Amino acid sequence: MAARQDSRLSDLPAGALLAWYDVHRRVLPWRELPGERADPYRVWLSEIMLQQTTVQSVGRYYREFLSRWPAVQSLAAAPLDEVLAAWAGLGYYARARNLHRAAKVVVEEFGGEFPASFEELVKLPGVGTYTAGAIAAIAFDLPFVAMDANAERVLARLFAVEEPLPKAKARLHELGHGLVPQTRPGDFAQALMDLGAAICTPKKPACKSCPVNSHCAAFGRGMQEILPRKPEKALRPLRRGAAFVARDASGAVLLVKRPENGLLGGMLQPPLGPWAEQFPSAEEALVQAPFSAAWKKRLGIVRHGFTHFELEIEVYLAEVNRRPSHIHTCHSRPSDALASRGEGNPGGRTPEMPDDLGPLPSAREGRPSPGITMWVAEMDLPRSALPTVMRKIIALALNHEGPLLSGAGTKASEP
Active site residues: 47
**Residues sharing a CB contact under 8 Å with residue 328, sequence separation 6 or more, in sequence order:** 271, 289, 290, 291
Nearer to ligand SF4, 52 or 224 (CB): 224
- Answer yes or no whether residue 205 interacts with ligand SF4 by CB under 6 A: yes
Q: How far is the CB of 196 from ligand SF4 (least distance, A)?
A: 8
Is residue 254 within 8 Å of 281, Cβ to Cβ?
Answer: no
Opening angle at CA 100, ends 94 and 105, nearest 5:
120
Q: Residues touching ligand SF4: how many (CB under 6 A)?
A: 14
- Answer yes or no whether residue 14 interacts with ligand SF4 by CB under 6 A: no
Tally of residues, the chain: 415
Q: How far is the CB of 56 from ligand SF4 (least distance, A)?
A: 21
Number of other CB atoms surrounding residue 296 within 10 Å: 13
Q: Which of 17, 210, 272, 337 binds ligand SF4 (CB under 6 A)?
A: 210
Q: Which of 20, 219, 291, 306 binds ligand SF4 (CB under 6 A)?
A: 219
Please give the single-letter amino acid code of residue 311. L
Q: Which of 72, 149, 158, 160 binds ligand SF4 (CB under 6 A)?
A: 158
Q: Which of 58, 207, 318, 385 binds ligand SF4 (CB under 6 A)?
A: 207
Q: How far is the CB of 210 from ligand SF4 (least distance, A)?
A: 3
Nearer to ligand SF4, 157 or 257 (CB): 157
Per DSSP, 375 falls in state E
Q: Which of 86, 180, 216, 339 binds ligand SF4 (CB under 6 A)?
A: 216
- Alpha-carbon distance of 180 to 394, in angstroms, equals 48
- Answer yes or no whether residue 218 interacts with ligand SF4 by CB under 6 A: yes
- Alpha-carbon distance of 188 to 173, in angstroms, equals 14
Nearer to ligand SF4, 226 or 377 (CB): 226
The string of DSSP codes covering 171-234 is: HHHHHHHHH--SSSHHHHHHHHHHHHHHTS-SSS--GGG-TTGGG-HHHHHT-TTT-S--PPPP
- Strand partners for 303: 312
Q: Which of 224, 335, 350, 384 binds ligand SF4 (CB under 6 A)?
A: 224
Binding residues for ligand SF4, rule: CB under 6 A, are 154, 157-158, 199-200, 205, 207, 210, 212-213, 216, 218-219, 224
